[in-house]
Amino acid sequence: MTETLTVPPQQATASDPTVGFRRRAAAIALPLAFAFQLVCNGIYAWVSTSSGLSDTESTAEMLKMYGAFPSQVLACTLLAQIGCLLAVLGLPTALRVLRPVKPRLALWAVTLMVLGYICYFGVSFSNYDTVALATGHVDAAVALAASPSQTWGLAFFLLFVLGNLGGTLLLGLAVMLGGRRAGLPRWAGILILGWPVGHIVNIAGGGEWFAVAGDVLEVIGLTLVAAAALRLPNEVWAGRG
């Protein structure tokens, strides 16, 4: 017969003096990650609307855009990647806040978002080479269109889309349905839903600034989730695993 030993939260926090630091760091990283994405999206929206160019229409148009605005594209890429790294650190914060009230929904949401932004970190790396090709005065459209990344990397791009839109949708629903019991206003979940809604409106032809507006709402909603995490006692945080 085996005996399972459990360590009380109070004992766990006493033996680990980093609990408070980890709780605060993760909570701060949550909205900060998406604030970096917001700045990235804002720069991209300005470039796209002022030039009439997009990187989603054709390879030739993407190269034209990247060649005309290389510094802005590189800044967007770097900001997005920093945001991805912070998202991996910060998103488990939402899981701990929501675990007592919506454990399964929060787990699906956070898992999809973490996987999605890990994929986005890798997908965005191609921008550095694309900028080099766009500014190198070579005919790279055909080569890029035939790149193996168009097929081999498709699964990772699709997982990013699923985590970026589907995961955020699930997280917003989790906050809406269980937020009140977790010390969050229900409208915090509505704010988080602003990102998938704004992004879909953009894709449907509404314009890049709808995505930016949705991103602003998401950052505010996630700030409220972070504030709930900062209010948790260290022993409660540790007890939620």
Q: Side chain identity at 159, as an amino acid letter?
A: L
CA distance 112 to 107: 8
Classify the C-alpha dihedral 116-121-125-128 as positive or negative: positive
Per-chain mean pLDDT for the chain:
89
Residue 12 has pLDDT above 60, yes or no: no
Q: Is the pLDDT of residue 5 over 50?
A: no
How confident is the model over 67-91, as pLDDT tens digits?
Answer: 899 999 999 999 999 999 999 999 9
DSSP conformational letter for 47: H
Which position has the higher pLDDT, 135 or 29?
A: 29
When comparing pLDDT for 42 and 149, which is higher? 42
- pLDDT 10s digits, 122-140: 999 888 888 888 887 767 6
pLDDT of amino acid 14? 56
Percent with pLDDT over 90 in the chain:
64
Q: Which long-range contacts (CB under 8 A, 24 or more apart) does 141-147 make?
A: 141/59, 141/60, 141/63, 142/59, 144/59, 144/62, 144/63, 145/59
Whether the CB-CB separation of 171 and 196 falls below 8 Å is answered with no
As a whole number of angstroms, the distance between CA 191 and CA 76 comes to: 24
Indicate the pLDDT class of residue 10, thresholds 50, 70 and 90.
Answer: low
| Tens of pLDDT, residues 172-214 | 999 999 988 888 999 999 999 999 999 999 999 888 999 999 9
Q: Let me know the angle formed at the C-alpha of 68 by 51 and 144, rounded to the nearest 5 degrees.
A: 105
Q: SS3 string of 186-241?
A: HHHHHHHCHHHHHHHHHHHHHCHHHHHHHHHHHHHHHHHHHHHHHHCCHHHHHHCC
> For residue 21, is pLDDT > 90?
yes
Report the C-alpha gap between 35 and 26 in whole angstroms. 14
